Amino acid sequence: MWKILFLIHVGLAGIWATDYELLLEDPDIFTPCTEAPPGTIFIRDAINFDQLKVEQEADTIHISGNATTTWDLQPNDRIAAKFALFHHQRGNWEPTVFTMATKDFCPMMYDKDQYWFKYWTSFITNREDVEQHCIKKLGTTLIHEPFDLRLMLKNIRGATLSGRYKTVISFEAFDERNVPRPHGVCFEIRGEAEKIKK
């Protein structure tokens, strides 16, 4: 009996879950963070995208080429990463329940269960080099095979997304004694949430 109830529950959750995508507001994709602590740098100051080709076509972003890190950290530094979705309501950016954080990004950079792996790091082909240096060593090249990116929020349950949203993505570095490095990295991706028809 419990098993049957469980199956029904899972089945219904599957029906009610909705996928959304974010239709980008800014052709440059990344926007500086509006509420970053002093000393925070923009993603384009931490990673050089000059050799990266980024083309937006309807709801898909085509990416290929190389990016080079310009964030200068020490090999034993720890990088914490945070993703948070905000909704623009009544003139303010209000937090939502959709957040994700990791205290130690580098060992999980190629973890296949992570969003960033599916969306980004799985397409970085010089994995050995990148796994060794992460985004800590100045001048590390991230070589991308061409890939298409659609910014999707999958399996959203118990909430309806509509209107303007932004994802705030931040990286903070700590030295071996857990003292924060002066420059964290922060950027936003803004867009309009749209339901994906199944």
Q: What is the C-alpha separation between 133 and 22, in angstroms, rounded?
A: 31
Rounded distance between C-alpha atoms, residue 195 and residue 164, angstroms: 13
108 touches ligand NAG (CB under 6 A): no
CB of 185 to ligand NAG, least distance (A): 22
| DSSP structure class, residue 99 | E
Residue number, 139 or 182, with CB nearest to ligand NAG: 139
* Contact flag: residue 122 with ligand NAG (CB under 6 A): no
Question: Minimum CB separation from ligand NAG for residue 52, in Å?
Answer: 8
**Which of 173, 167, 162, 192 has the alpha carbon at shortest distance from 34?**
167
Which residues, numbered 24-83, are part of the site for ligand NAG (CB under 6 A)?
Answer: 51, 65-66
How many residues at the interface with ligand NAG, by CB under 6 A? 5
Which residues in 162-196 are b (16+ Cβ under 10 Å) and which e? eeebbbbbbbbbbeeeeeebebbbbbbbbbbbeee
Q: Does 152 bind ligand NAG (CB under 6 A)?
A: no
Q: Give me the least distance between CB of 130 and ligand NAG, in Å please.
A: 12
β-pair partners for 149: 61
129 touches ligand NAG (CB under 6 A): no
Report the residue number, 63 or 161, with the smaller CB distance to ligand NAG. 63
For ligand NAG, which residue of 54, 143, 149, 152 counts as binding (CB under 6 A)?
A: 143
- Write down the residue that tokens 């240096």 correspond to: 133
Q: Which is nearer to ligand NAG, 53 or 154 (CB)?
A: 53
**Distance (Å, rounded) from C-alpha 49 to C-alpha 55?**
13
When the beta carbons of 32 and 65 are compared against ligand NAG, the nearer one is 65
Q: Min. distance of Cβ 94 from ligand NAG in angstroms?
A: 40
Among 149, 151, 135, smallest CA distance to 188 is for 151
Q: How far is the CB of 121 from ligand NAG (least distance, A)?
A: 16
Could you give the C-alpha distances from 79 to 12, 113, 173, 176, in angstroms and in order? 39, 19, 4, 11
Contact residues for ligand NAG, defined by CB under 6 A: 51, 65-66, 141, 143
